[in-house]
Amino acid sequence: MPGVLPILRSPAALRGVLLILLGVWGALIPLVGPYFRYAYTPDTAWHFTLARLWLEILPGAAAALGGVLVIVSTRRLPAAGGVLLAILAGGWFVVGRAMNALWPNLGTPGVPAGPASRMALEEIGFFTGLGIVIVFVATLALCRFSVPTWNAGSISPSGHSVPAEDGGQLAQGGGN
C-alpha cells in the first residue's frame, strides 16, 4: 500500500509475546499463586473479589490483549494502540492500589500472605514490579514502531533516493 510504512515482525512479535506472558501472569497469579505459597490475602486459590478483578485480572487481560495486537497488527496504528493499552495496564498495576482508596466498595486487594522475608517479592511480583516491566516492554515496542522501516539499498551512496522494488515508488526518506 503506497504511503504506509511496514513494521518489522520479529522484534515486535517478541515484545508482543512478552506482553502476553506478563499480562497472563498478572491476571492469573492472584488466582493460582496460593498453590505455590505466593499470594495476597485471602490466600485461597481461585478466590475472586472485586478488588482482584479491577486491580489484577482486568489490567493483566488488557496487557495480554495489547500484546496480541502488537503481534497480529500489520499496520503501525493498531499495533501502537495495543502498546498504549499495555502501557495503561502496566501503569494501573503500579498506581491501582493507591487509587483503590477512592472506591472503598471494591474492597482491598489484601496484604502479602508470605513471611516477612517474602513480602517484598510478592508486592513486586503482583503489582509494582510487574507494572514497571510491562510499561518498559511496551515502551520498547512503541519505540520500535516509531522508527521507519527502510529498505536495504533505498538510499544511494550519494544520499539520493532510489526507486523501491515494490512498483517503482520512491523509498521513504533521504534524498531529493
- Within a domain: 83: yes
- Within a domain: 8: no
- Within a domain: 168: no
- Within a domain: 172: no
- pLDDT digit string (tens) for 32-57? 999 998 989 888 899 999 999 999 99
- Within a domain: 28: yes
Predicted pLDDT at 63: 98
Confidence grade of residue 92 (pLDDT, cut at 50, 70, 90): very high
- Within a domain: 63: yes
- Within a domain: 87: yes
Can you give the residue range of the structural domain that contains 35? 14-145
Predicted pLDDT at 166: 47
> What is the number of domains present in the chain?
1
- Residues 6 or more apart whose Cβ sits within 8 Å of residue 40: 30, 33, 109, 110, 111, 112, 113, 122, 126
- Within a domain: 174: no
Backbone φ, ψ for residue 154 (5° rounding): -75, -15
Please report where in the chains the cell 500500500 appears, as a residue.
1
